[in-house]
Structure formats: structure tokens, C-alpha cells
């Protein structure tokens, strides 16, 4: 297991933000379901995206790489009778592909690694057997999972407070069925930006979905149409470097879409609320630097769960007490992120209280640190690396599980160092 040694030092300069992982998952799947060839440019490689590429290949798509572009031919997708899909640790891959495989009528065995086999899949376990699909797995361990049978159209009632990945998975699959379908959200939708991103991608590929008062109406017998797309940059990843700018650095992020459906663009208004100097430049880049002290804040993170690790770091260095709520689902990610952040902040000498659905963090000056735990979680490792660059002390701070960044951002430390950081993976 690798670890990273991070020394104190402020990050300054410009960084090209990698392509959105969320957009890439969706575009690859849509392209694989289209009867034709699509070209996806500006792709950033990582383990999660590799899992989705392997998954659509298993369903019959032909996928080839051309530099930073991906060429996807979906002509033969769905013709296989059986498939085996290794999702590695990618929740998006698993939750998007389960209903799609069922809609295609392909008997599929799903496997995974890390915490993915125990991450909740109960929404599908309840819904899909009502619609002609058999799901076979061990009790309380969802992988390996065998999916067989033909998904049927109809009305699907699902809670909006479960992972939005379940709702997106249904939106990908239901247009493929002969009959019309409807999804009804029985509770308010969380992570709504991710579902909006799904709807935008589906529209790009010729799929029509009508938003209703409490869900979505999905006409059946639709066909995905091949198209070429340039993938937008990732707001979730940009947030780490924007936070570094707010913590005393001077960082410009290049390639972000101001009008993105990605919920994590909320980081801009949150940093302004904290007192950071953040503004769009004439060339379309986004610049962030410190404007003196940061202030405490309150945030309901139900729509922006991926921001919680880096928001926790910002809170650690802010004046006053910050309250983060609405983050209960973080307990079922690659790690229990609420517990992981509470532990690491305590190791830094921060007064932190872990609550059922969030954190209460009292910021302080002169934060020091001991060895930190990456918890085999890419977002924990990256968040704590930004924190380590701000800590007082002459010795490098050690963070375990540095290899975890390969899940979403393999060149994170390369860009970190290019901005003047001092991180060495050993």
C-alpha cells in the first residue's frame, strides 16, 4: 500500500481540470446503446471509467481509444446472451448497468472490489423483481450479483433520497423497453444535479424524457442515436484546487463550464460565502485566492455530497464553527466519509463532532498534524493532501492509501506538484 508525504506549501498557478467522471460514465453508456459510432473527446482516464468501458464491452460494444478520445460503436450492444461485468469499485458502473442489462435481456453477473459489494443496492432489490427481473446474491452482500430476466415497462416508485444513481440507471434503461414507463419519486430528490446531467446526456443521444410533477415519464421503443461529444471538466475535482486557493494559495482552474448541471459547481458560492476571492476571468477560467480569513458556514450537503471532504478541510481553517448536515449517504461511499473526516480532523487537532448525518467543526489557527489515514478513499486522500499543504510543521505529513486517487484522478499529485506543492508518493 502506498503513502504520500506532503510538506507545507501554498499552491499557485493554473491547472487544467480533468474531464468530468460523471459525464464520462453517462456518455460512454449512451454511446454504447446507440446503433452507430460516437466519438467522445477530452476523456480523462481513471479506474472508474475503465470499469464502465469494460462493462459496455461485455455487453457487446466496440470501444477503441484514440489519444484522449474514445471511439464507441454500439452496433452489436445487446446481442450477447450472457455477460460478466467487473465494476471494480465504481458505484456508477454497477447502478447504471444493472437495469440496462435487464432491459437488454442479458443474463449478467456483476462483481466488484473494495466496499462496493456491501454498498446498498436495496432500491433495485425491491423494484426490479416486480418487473420481471431476478436478482441473485448473498444476504447483505450484494456482489457477486446475477441479473436475469427481461425488464418490463410500467410504473417505478423509488425514493429520491436514495442514491441518484438508481434513478439515472432507470432513465438509461426504460427507453429501451417496448412500452411506456414512469418513475415516481416518493421522497424529495437528492443529488438532483446528477439526474439533470443524465437527462442532458440522454437528450444529446436522442432520448426523450418528460419531467413530471413528482418524477419522469419515459416513452418506450426509443433508439439511442450516435453522436460526438466533448466531455466537460469535473467540478468535483476542481473543488480541491479552488479550496487550495482559498487557503492562502492563488489558483486558476481552466476548462470549467459555468452553466454545468454538475451540482458541485456550488463550490463557487460556498467559497464566496466563506470570504474567499473567487471570480470568473475574461478567458473563461476560474480564479480563487485568499481574501484574508475564512468564515464559518452552514451547508446542507444532500445535493453536493462529494464536496463534504474538502468542505470539512476548509471548515478546519475557518473562523468559527461550521455545521455540515444532510450527508448521511456518505457513510456508504468508498469509506464512511463522515467518520473518516472526523478522525483525520481530530488527528490535526481540530475540535470536530460527528453527527448521524454530518459534522460540526470548530476551526482554529496554527493547525498541526500527525499521520493521516486515507481510508482507501480517493476523496479523503485528496482532501487531506490539500489540508497537509496548509499545516504548520517542518516535517512532511504522511497520508496512507495514496494509490486510491487512481479511482478518479490519477495525475492529482502531478498537478499538485506543478502548482508548487510538495507531495512524494512512496
The 3-state DSSP class for residue 30 equals helix
Q: Which of 310, 379, 371 is nearest to 343 (CA)?
A: 371
Measure Cα distances from 15 to 49, 119, 407, 413 in Å: 21, 33, 20, 12
Rounded distance, CA 91 to CA 334, Å? Answer: 9
> In the beta sheet, which residues pair with residue 224?
34
State the catalytic residue, choosing from 48, 250, 306, 401.
Answer: 306
Cβ–Cβ under 8 Å, residues 310 and 386: yes
3-state helix, strand, coil in the chain (%, to 5): 35, 25, 35
| DSSP-derived pairing of the beta strands 250-254 and 215-218 | unpaired
Rounded distance, CA 209 to CA 182, Å? Answer: 10
Distance between first and last Cα of the chain: 9
Rounded distance, CA 378 to CA 236, Å? Answer: 12
Which residues does 414 contact at the CB level (< 8 Å), separation at least 6? none
Rounded distance, CA 397 to CA 233, Å? Answer: 30
Rounded distance, CA 350 to CA 2, Å? Answer: 26
DSSP H helical segments within 105-225, as ranges?
Answer: 122-127, 164-173, 192-204
Residue 259 annotated among the catalytic residues of the structure: no
**Residues labelled catalytic:** 306
Amino acid at each position: 500500500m502506498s503513502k504520500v508525504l506532503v510538506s507545507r506549501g501554498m499552491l499557485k498557478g493554473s491547472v487544467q481540470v480533468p474531464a468530468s467522471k460523471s459525464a464520462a460514465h453517462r456518455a460512454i453508456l449512451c454511446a454504447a446503446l446507440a446503433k452507430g459510432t460516437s466519438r467522445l473527446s477530452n476523456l480523462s482516464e481513471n479506474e472508474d471509467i475503465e470499469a464502465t468501458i469494460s462493462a459496455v464491452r461485455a455487453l457487446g460494444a466496440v470501444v477503441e481509444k484514440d489519444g484522449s478520445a474514445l471511439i464507441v460503436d454500439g452496433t452489436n450492444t445487446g446481442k450477447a446472451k450472457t455477460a460478466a461485468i467487473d465494476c471494480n469499485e465504481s458505484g456508477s458502473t454497477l447502478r447504471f448497468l444493472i437495469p440496462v442489462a435487464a432491459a437488454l435481456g442479458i443474463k449478467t453477473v456483476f462483481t466488484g472490489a473494495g466496499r462496493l459489494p456491501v454498498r446498498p443496492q436495496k432500491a433495485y432489490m425491491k423494484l426490479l423483481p416486480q418487473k420481471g427481473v431476478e436478482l441473485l446474491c448473498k444476504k447483505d452482500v450484494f456482489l457477486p450479483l446475477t441479473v436475469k430476466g427481461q425488464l418490463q415497462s410500467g410504473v417505478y416508485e423509488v425514493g429520491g433520497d436514495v442514491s441518484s444513481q438508481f434513478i439515472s440507471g432507470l432513465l438509461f434503461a426504460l427507453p429501451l423497453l417496448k412500452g411506456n414507463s414512469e418513475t415516481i419519486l416518493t421522497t424529495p430528490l437528492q443529488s438532483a444535479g446528477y439526474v439533470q446531467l443524465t437527462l442532458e446526456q440522454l437528450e444529446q443521444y436522442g432520448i426523450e424524457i418528460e419531467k413530471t410533477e413528482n418524477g419522469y415519464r419515459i416513452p418506450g421503443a426509443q433508439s439511442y442515436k450516435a453522436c460526438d461529444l466533448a466531455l466537460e471538466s469535473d467540478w468535483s475535482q476542481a473543488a480541491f484546487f479552488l479550496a487550495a486557493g482559498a487557503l492562502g494559495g492563488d489558483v486558476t482552474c481552466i476548462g470549467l463550464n459555468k452553466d454545468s448541471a454538475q451540482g458541485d459547481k456550488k463550490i463557487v458560492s460556498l467559497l464566496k460565502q466563506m470570504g474567499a476571492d473567487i471570480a470568473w476571468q475574461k478567458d473563461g477560467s476560474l480564479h480563487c485566492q485568499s481574501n484574508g480569513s475564512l468564515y464559518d458556514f452552514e451547508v446542507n450537503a444532500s445535493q453536493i455530497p462529494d464536496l463534504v471532504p474538502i468542505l470539512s478541510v476548509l471548515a478546519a481553517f475557518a473562523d468559527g464553527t461550521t455545521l455540515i448536515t444532510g450527508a448521511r449517504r456518505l457513510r456508504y461511499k468508498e469509506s464512511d466519509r463522515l467518520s473518516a473526516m472526523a478522525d483525520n480532523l481530530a488527528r490535526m487537532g481540530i475540535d470536530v463532532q460527528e453527527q448521524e448525518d454530518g459534522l460540526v467543526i470548530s476551526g482554529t489557527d496554527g493547525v498541526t498534524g500527525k499521520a493521516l489515514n486515507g481510508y482507501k478513499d480517493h476523496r479523503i486522500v485528496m482532501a487531506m493532501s490539500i489540508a497537509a499543504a496548509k499545516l504548520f510543521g517542518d516535517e512532511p505529513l504522511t497520508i496512507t492509501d495514496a494509490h486510491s486517487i487512481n479511482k478518479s484522478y490519477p495525475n492529482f499529485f502531478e498537478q499538485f506538484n506543478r502548482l508548487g506543492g510538495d507531495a512524494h508518493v512512496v
